Chain A
Amino acid sequence: MAIVNNPGSTPIPPHRLRNGLLVGLGALLLLSSFILQQTPELSADPVVSSELNASRGLAVHVPAGARLEHVIVNNSVSPEEIAPAREAATSEPEASVEPAQPTDPAEPEGLSEQVSPAQPNDPPESVMVVELTNTLTFSPLSITIRAGETVEWRNTSLMVHTVTADPSKATVDGSVSLPSGGQPFDSGNLNPEATFRHTFRTPGTYRYFCIPHEGVRMRGTVIVR
Chain B
Amino acid sequence: MKRTIQTLLGVVALLLTGSFGVAPALAQEMPTQMPGQMEMSAEQMQMIHRLQAMAPARGYLDAHKMIDQPLGLLGGPIQIDISQDAGGVFVAMPDRRQLDPHVFGTPDMPRAVAGTPGINGLPPMARGEEDGNYTTMMMPSPFGDAFMAMGDGRLQINATDATATDAARTDDTVEMMASWKDGEGNVYEVRCCAMLTAHGMEFPTFGGVVTNHILHGFTRIGTALMPSEYTYFGFWGMGQVLKNGEVLDAPRLVHGMLTEYVRTDGYALAFDDEVTPTRQHFHLMVAPFQPVMESESFEQRPVHTGMMLPNGMELPFWHVMFENLQIGGHRE
Binding site for B on A (CB under 8 A): 1-39, 41-42, 49, 56-64, 67-68, 71-79, 134-136, 157-160, 171-172, 189, 191-192, 212-217
The CA-CA distance from A8 to B68 in the complex, in Å, is 10
Chain B nearest CB: distance from A155 CB in Å? 9
Chain B neighbourhood of A41, CB < 8 A:
310-311
Stretch in B111-119, B213-221, B241-249 with 4+ CB within 8 Å of A: B111-119
Chain A nearest CB: distance from B254 CB in Å? 11
Chain B nearest CB: distance from A121 CB in Å? 19
Residues facing A in B196-216 (CB within 8 A) are 196-202, 205, 208
Chain B nearest CB: distance from A116 CB in Å? 14
Contact check, A12 vs B291: say whether CB atoms are below 8 A apart.
Answer: yes
Contact check, A27 vs B19: say whether CB atoms are below 8 A apart.
Answer: yes
Asked if B288 is at the interface (CB within 8 A of a chain A CB), the reply is yes
The 8 Å CB contact of A1, one of B200, B264, B310, is: B200
Chain B neighbourhood of A2, CB < 8 A:
65, 168, 197-199
Contact check, B149 vs A33: say whether CB atoms are below 8 A apart.
Answer: no
Chain B neighbourhood of A63, CB < 8 A:
145-146, 266-268
Asked if B298 is at the interface (CB within 8 A of a chain A CB), the reply is yes
A-B contacts, 10 of them at CB < 8 A, read: A19-B298, A27-B18, A30-B19, A32-B316, A37-B24, A63-B267, A63-B268, A77-B183, A79-B310, A189-B324
Q: Which 5 A-B pairs have the closest CB atoms?
A: A20-B298, A24-B289, A32-B94, A29-B141, A57-B183
Contact check, B324 vs A39: say whether CB atoms are below 8 A apart.
Answer: no
Asked if B301 is at the interface (CB within 8 A of a chain A CB), the reply is yes
The CA-CA distance from A158 to B324 in the complex, in Å, is 12
Contact check, A76 vs B184: say whether CB atoms are below 8 A apart.
Answer: yes
The 8 Å CB contact of A16, one of B48, B120, B297, B307, is: B297
Given that A11-B169, A57-B151 are contacting pairs, would A213 and B323 also be in contact in the complex, using a CB cutoff of 8 Å? yes
Contact check, B289 vs A27: say whether CB atoms are below 8 A apart.
Answer: yes
Contact check, A6 vs B194: say whether CB atoms are below 8 A apart.
Answer: yes
Chain A neighbourhood of B96, CB < 8 A:
67-68
Contact check, A7 vs B173: say whether CB atoms are below 8 A apart.
Answer: yes
The 8 Å CB contact of B88, one of A4, A22, A28, A158, is: A158
Contact check, B197 vs A3: say whether CB atoms are below 8 A apart.
Answer: yes
Extra contacts besides A3-B197, A31-B317, A35-B313 (4): CB < 8 Å: A15-B296, A62-B146, A74-B182, A192-B88
Contact check, B289 vs A35: say whether CB atoms are below 8 A apart.
Answer: no
Chain A neighbourhood of B150, CB < 8 A:
57-58, 74, 158
Chain B nearest CB: distance from A18 CB in Å? 6
Contact check, A35 vs B309: say whether CB atoms are below 8 A apart.
Answer: yes
Asked if B139 is at the interface (CB within 8 A of a chain A CB), the reply is yes
The CA-CA distance from A64 to B145 in the complex, in Å, is 10
Chain B nearest CB: distance from A150 CB in Å? 25
